Amino acid sequence: MSETIVITSGKGGVGKTTTCANLGVALAIQGCKVVMVDADIGLRNLDVVMGLENRIVYDLVDVVEGYCRLRQALIKDKRVDGLFLLPAAQTKDKNAVSPEQMKELMMALKEEHDFVLVDCPAGIEQGFKNAIAGADSAVIVTTPEVSAVRDADRITGLLEASGFSKPELIINRLKPKMVARGDMMDIPDILDILAIDLVGVVPDDEYIVVSTNRGEPAVLQESSRAGQAYRNIARRLMGEQVPFMDLTEKESVWEKIKRMVKLG
Amino acid sequence: MADKQDVSFKGVKEGLYLTLNGNQDFNVLKELLSERLKSAEFFFQGSDVILDTGDTPFSLEQILEIQQILAYPYGLRLKKVVRAETGQAPKEREPKAKPKRQEPPKVRSERNEEPREPVTKSPVSYGKLPETLLYRGTLRSGQRIAYEGNVVIVGDVNPGAEVKATGDIVVMGSLRGLAHAGASGDSGVAVVAFSLAPTQLRIADVIGRPPEGGAGVAREPEVARLKDGIIVVEPLEGTRWEGER
């Protein structure tokens, strides 16, 4: 059984591409055959985050327009077996493909892979419509900010109107300390508004910036907490029951002293 | 009805000379112009444009609309608007509102050739040299130059940008994007850059990419060329540039 999952958010910069890259790698490590599709034509990023930019010869638009065969455009990951990337075109724009063409492409990709992950562009226009065409299910990424949640809500509505029955939610970049202080939206607050199933919470992790710049997804780093969260989400996508991580961080010695001074 | 002649482009020294037939319906003209630009795609990119509205004056709104079409997404700059009614090449000094004068249509087509003449009348005969495109400015992500001939870029080529030429490619700056020299199969061409650090390099039908985690970029100009089917990068020293051609 294979599945096409579109990773979307409405708002930009909440971590769609990072999520896509990490879930792709995590699923492939679990032994699945995975292909990641960058649907952000004109503003491609997934290849950079994956560190595969210099291997691109053909792209999604070339495939759709018939300049090359699908197999030629798929880039094999350099670290993990069974992981492929279909890069977006950089010199074209979103109108270069139609939802019908995307549907056809997704069907072809599904035949040979267990998971097709589609990295959706920000926004609700043509690019979004292309990305969701041919997808079986959707994962919505949001951060604990009112604006991101607002956009996630809008996207949920649009997805439901397009026939997606149960979009799932990933809350990204949660800072447990800020939540504890009451300075950041908490998980229940977000779920209260969106009322969709939560598939994972990814804590804020500075290592993500490092990994993005290096082109090495964080899931490959054992010690990364965000990487751990993504590994758990991947297993949940595969149908496993995985308990949610305990996100409360241990106090450092310095913080303990500060607290004691305050108390005293 | 729409006619191909209603919108015509000519290359002149200052850039592109665009002639619009003002007798045609303006909406049709706009459509024709978009089509022409689309078909030439990035061939024209970044050029200056001189707009000739023929004997019909265009309103300011119409000219602004044309400027919009040119500017986005093709990056063409509308430099000046002329109303050429004489057989002379239009000059800025020319009074713009000249009395209308009937002229045979033949003169119109000749006029555009004129600015080129000093080039062809060179005392030295060069034989048939390939054309070279000089591009001033930084080529940014998503921008692309494809040219039949050589390409010289006075500026950088950033990651995500593409330069494709049937001849040589020279970057007077950093080449960090993708360069494809000898795109129609010529393997005797070279890619030269002050700083050669491309995402990917293609010469003729050979594709190369920098080694994983390779050493830093040399702080000197380098030349890449094809040797025995492999892309070889060497420091650029004097005559090396000409290679074994």
Number of Cβ pairs < 8 A linking chain A and chain B: 26
**Cβ pair B143:A44 closer than 8 A:** no
Q: How many residues does chain A have?
A: 264
- Would you list the domain boundaries of chain A? 3-263
pLDDT score, position B32: 84
d(CA B191, CA B179): 8
Low-confidence ranges of chain B (pLDDT < 70): 1-4, 41-46, 73, 84-129, 214-215, 238-245
**Cβ pair B142:A53 closer than 8 A:** no
Q: Which residues of A touch B157 (CB under 8 A)?
A: none
**Cβ pair B144:A54 closer than 8 A:** no
| Alpha carbon of B174: minimum distance to chain A alpha carbons (Å) | 16
pLDDT score, position A62: 95
CA A142, A143, A144: angle at the middle one, nearest 5? 125
Nearest to B142 among A56, A78, A91 (CB): A91
pLDDT score, position B127: 57
**Cβ pair B144:A91 closer than 8 A:** yes
Nearest to B160 among A57, A90, A93 (CB): A90
The 10s digit of each residue's pLDDT in A145-189 is: 999 999 999 999 999 999 998 899 999 999 999 999 999 999 999
Pick the CATH number of A3-263 from 3.40.50.300, 3.30.420.40, 3.40.50.200, 2.30.40.10: 3.40.50.300
- Hunting for tokens 């699945």 — which residue is that? A32
| Alpha carbon of A117: minimum distance to chain B alpha carbons (Å) | 23
Low-confidence ranges of chain A (pLDDT < 70): 249-251, 264
Q: What type of residue is B149?
A: G
**Cβ pair A55:B141 closer than 8 A:** no
* 3-state SS assignment for residue B50: strand
d(CA B197, CA B217): 6
**Cβ pair A56:B210 closer than 8 A:** no
Tell me the CATH class for B4-118: alpha beta
d(CA B105, CA B66): 24
A49, A56, A91, A213: which to substitute to probe chain B, counting the most B Cβ within 10 Å?
A91
Would you say A199 and A169 are in contact if contact means Cβ atoms under 8 Å apart? Answer: yes
pLDDT score, position B158: 95
ipTM of this predicted structure: 0.80
Helix ranges restricted to H, A30-145: 46-49, 60-64, 70-73, 99-112, 126-132
Architecture of domain B132-242: 3 Solenoid (2.160)
pLDDT score, position A185: 93
Q: Which residues contact B140 (CB under 8 A, 6 or more apart)?
A: B158, B160, B161
- Would you list the domain boundaries of chain B? 4-118, 132-242
Q: If interface means Cβ-Cβ distance under 8 Å, which residues of chain B face chain A?
A: 42, 73, 141-144, 159-160, 162, 199-200, 207, 209-210, 212
CA A63, A67, A69: angle at the middle one, nearest 5? 55
Q: Which residues contact A24 (CB under 8 A, 6 or more apart)?
A: A34, A36, A50, A83, A85, A115, A117, A217
Query: Tokens in use for B51?
Result: 């707009």
Nearest to B141 among A54, A55, A90 (CB): A90
